[in-house]
């Protein structure tokens, strides 16, 4: 098929890891398997207008973010195209105009690379399908995840939902280091429509990027044990997700979050991404759990923000608790109520 001019638009979500990916080798292959909840409200919408040109020697594109030309984001996207070009040579034959916007506040400390990279990957796959209509939906999603992974590792988990595994693992059928797959077993109803309130503790630029953080795992004294522990935890979590043992879930999730940050505390050079209010919130969550028997728990990303996780049946009570007791630790009292979602949506 020849296609002269076409535009595709996709909305893809962010995700929050339950078992964390921290440490990788080239080309963006994880040192351990990870699993995440796909989010619903935190997403990126991206459209790409493709116009056929003479075959170029470089990838040609323009970039607009929230309506404005954004040349400072260009190097990151150019690097992404460079990494994926061997898998989609057709990008040399089109000029691309990329328009992108996030549903969450810009520089809120919510990683936009997962949703941003996966949205571009979906638009590229739409073009590929236009050029070759015989490709199947499975191939489409798998390749989109594969491409997104080359942009940002965790982006491989932002194509589908609500639970995605990335990284080869003996207990997860079909899992791969190359792309994310749906958690393949039946999940207990307690984990359906799981809630995630993202408390915006610190919206500033991170002092240490995740790229630098991953690299510091190379000479890290605890690295090998950590990779083994993460894989063991994924095996345990697989059982928990099926049998619904929520107390075990809480234990494992919070330990994963603190272990991720423990890796940062013990790397060389060491660094701290948590802020005083991160710890205030964690303590309040523990107090609330002790006083009420709630199944609320927390996880952390590579930053100061706290993700508060809770089952759907506690939505009302926990939302009240957050509003009255946790919001005051957030910058400008800001937080985002989200829940596990189902992945990319064509616009």
Kindly list the residues in this chain that would bind ligand PMV in the complex (CB under 6 A): 17, 20-22, 34, 111, 113, 152-154, 210, 214, 260, 301-302
User: Which residues share a beta bridge with 335?
Assistant: 199
Task: State which residue, 20 or 31, has the beta carbon closest to ligand PMV.
Answer: 20
> Residue 264 Cβ, how far from ligand PMV at the closest point, in Å?
10
CA 259 to chain centre: 18
> Residue 154 Cβ, how far from ligand PMV at the closest point, in Å?
3
> Residue 57 Cβ, how far from ligand PMV at the closest point, in Å?
29
Alpha carbons within 13 angstroms on the beta-carbon side of residue 299 total 21
Task: State which residue, 23 or 311, has the beta carbon closest to ligand PMV.
Answer: 23
**DSSP class per residue in 170-189:** TTSTT--SSSEEE--SPPPG
Task: State which residue, 39 or 63, has the beta carbon closest to ligand PMV.
Answer: 39
Task: State which residue, 16 or 285, has the beta carbon closest to ligand PMV.
Answer: 16
**CA–CA gap between residue 305 and residue 281 (Å, rounded):** 10
**CA–CA gap between residue 119 and residue 129 (Å, rounded):** 15
Q: Which two tokens stand for residue 217?
A: 């795992």
Closest listed residue to residue 35, CA positions, set 56, 48, 18 = 18
**CA–CA gap between residue 196 and residue 219 (Å, rounded):** 34
Task: State which residue, 229 or 319, has the beta carbon closest to ligand PMV.
Answer: 229
Closest listed residue to residue 310, CA positions, set 257, 269, 253 = 253
> Residue 18 Cβ, how far from ligand PMV at the closest point, in Å?
9
Task: State which residue, 22 or 249, has the beta carbon closest to ligand PMV.
Answer: 22
> Residue 19 Cβ, how far from ligand PMV at the closest point, in Å?
8
Closest listed residue to residue 111, CA positions, set 16, 196, 21, 32 = 16
User: Which residues share a beta bridge with 39?
Assistant: 340
**Phi, psi (deg, nearest 5) at residue 252:** -70, -40
> Residue 347 Cβ, how far from ligand PMV at the closest point, in Å?
24
> Residue 28 Cβ, how far from ligand PMV at the closest point, in Å?
8
Task: State which residue, 128 or 160, has the beta carbon closest to ligand PMV.
Answer: 160
């Amino acid at each position: 098929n020849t296609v002269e001019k076409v535009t595709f638009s996709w909305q893809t979500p962010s995700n929050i890891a339950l078992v964390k990916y921290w440490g990788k080798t080239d080309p963006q292959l994880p040192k351990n398997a990870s699993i995440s909840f796909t989010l619903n409200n935190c997403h990126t919408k991206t459209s790409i207008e493709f116009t056929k040109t003479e075959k170029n020697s470089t990838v040609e594109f323009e970039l607009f973010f929230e309506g404005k030309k954004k040349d400072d984001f260009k190097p990151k996207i150019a690097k992404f195209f460079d990494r994926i070009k061997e898998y989609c040579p057709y990008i040399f034959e089109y000029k691309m105009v990329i328009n992108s916007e996030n549903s969450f506040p810009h520089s809120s400390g919510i990683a936009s690379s997962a949703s941003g990279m996966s949205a571009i990957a979906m638009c590229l796959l739409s073009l590929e399908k236009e050029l070759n209509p015989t490709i199947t939906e499975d191939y489409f999603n798998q390749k989109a995840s594969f491409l997104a992974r080359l942009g940002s590792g965790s982006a491989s988990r932002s194509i589908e939902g609500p639970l995605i595994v990335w990284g080869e693992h003996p207990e997860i059928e079909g899992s791969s280091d190359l792309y994310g797959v749906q958690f393949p077993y039946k999940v207990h109803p307690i984990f359906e429509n799981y809630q995630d309130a993202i408390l915006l503790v610190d919206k500033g630029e991170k002092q240490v990027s995740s790229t630098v953080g991953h690299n510091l795992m190379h000479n890290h004294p605890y690295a090998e044990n950590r990779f083994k522990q993460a894989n063991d935890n994924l095996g345990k979590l697989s059982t928990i997700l099926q049998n619904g043992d929520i107390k075990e879930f809480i234990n494992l999730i919070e330990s994963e979050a603190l272990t991720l940050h423990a890796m940062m505390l013990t790397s060389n050079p060491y660094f701290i991404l948590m802020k005083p209010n991160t710890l205030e919130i964690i303590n309040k969550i523990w107090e609330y759990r002790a006083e009420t028997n709630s199944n609320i728990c927390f996880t952390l990303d590579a930053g100061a923000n706290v993700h508060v996780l809770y089952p759907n049946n506690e939505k009302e009570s926990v939302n009240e608790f957050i509003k009255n007791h946790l919001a005051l630790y957030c910058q400008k009292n800001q937080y985002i109520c989200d829940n596990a979602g189902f992945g990319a949506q064509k616009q």
